[in-house]
Amino acid sequence: MKLKCPECDGDIETKEVIEGEILNCNDCGAELEVTKSKKGTFELKVAESEGEDWGE
Ligand SMILES: [Zn+2]
């Protein structure tokens, strides 16, 4: 299964996609969390592990 990195638009390949799992982008090193969209497809969002405030 292939997902797209929201940071660098690179492809991330993973055997299994589990919601809530953290993946690392090989290209930019971003920590990405697997989330499920409303459409039921999996997508990645940047996992903010350094306590940044999202504000919403
Ligand atoms: Zn990336």
Cα–Cα distance for residue pair 6/3, rounded to 1 Å: 9
Cα–Cα distance for residue pair 20/35, rounded to 1 Å: 6
Token representation of residue 15: 């055997």
Give 38 Cα–ligand 1 centroid separation in angstroms. Answer: 23
Q: For the chain, which residues make up each domain, given as ranges?
A: 2-46
CATH number of 2-46, picked from 3.40.30.10, 3.40.50.300, 2.20.28.160, 3.40.1000.10:
2.20.28.160
Give 31 Cα–ligand 1 centroid separation in angstroms. Answer: 9
**pLDDT (0 to 100) of residue 35:** 95
Rg (CA), the chain: 11
Give 27 Cα–ligand 1 centroid separation in angstroms. Answer: 5
**DSSP letters of 1-56?**
-EEE-TTT--EEE-S---TT-EEE-TTT--EEEEEE-TTS-EEEEE---S------
Whole-model pTM: value is 0.77
pLDDT along the chain (56 residues), means of 10: 94 93 94 94 86 65
Residue list, CB under 5 A from ion ligand 1:
5, 7-8, 10, 25, 27-28, 30
